[in-house]
Amino acid sequence: MNLTPKQLEVLELIRQCQNDHGYSPTMQELAEQIGVSKVTVFERIEALIRKGALTREANRARSLSIAEEITKKYDKEENAAVRFPLVGRIAAGMPIERCEDRDTLDLTNMFGPRIGQRGETFALRVDGESMIDEGILDGDFVLVQKQSTAKNGDRVVALLPDGETTLKTFFKEPNGTIRLQPANTAFEPIIVSECHVQGIVTGVLRSY
């Protein structure tokens, strides 16, 4: 079934409304969410019906239903194994050289098929104990949302000027320097004039 991106957008909004509320959206609700006219939404709905992706009952405001074939496809995707690229180890002690290991961390095997996947996310295994007061322990996996900016208090994966990487809490000091703060009093903060933020920690995974 060949659907355009705009048709897929309508289909996804209908599915989301059904999952969240138990019923389909109206044409007006779809138009408001997408930011187009009701006529445009109607045209997209008619195209989806012609292609067999949607069905509609006459004389009902919330009569749209997703075709069984499409529903099965969504269910299959949701139950598929969720994996993040495991790109190496990250220092939670003294910085270490960046790893180039290429593997995957399969969350389905660890936590079951209902774990959600976020775009542009990768995993790192923690080496060291400098973040233990934040509950990030040696041997844990951290999930990192790839981005190049951070605000004070974010736990970041930072590439240092010497080419090493570290996991610390980010602070931009008033004098312009950057403080990468450990969460363990046995470790000193790392003070640098600049660093490259590679991502923000969004989760910690631990397998017992």
Q: Which domains does the chain have, with CATH numbers?
A: 5-78 (1.10.10.10), 83-205 (2.10.109.10)
**Positions marked active-site:** 130, 168
For residues 65-74, give the mean pLDDT: 74
Would you state the structure tokens that stand for residue 98, as one six-digit string? 């960046």
- Burial state string for 87-101 with b = 16 or more CB within 10 A and e = fewer than 16: bbbbbbbebbebeee
For residues 113-126, give the mean pLDDT: 64
Query: 6-43: per-residue pLDDT in tens?
Result: 888 888 888 888 878 888 888 899 999 888 999 999 99
Helix ranges (DSSP H) in the chain: 5-21, 27-34, 38-50, 68-78, 107-111
pTM of the entire predicted model: 0.51
Query: How does DSSP assign 114-129, residue by residue?
Result: T----TTEEEEEEESS
Query: 145-167: per-residue pLDDT in tens?
Result: 888 899 999 999 999 988 888 99
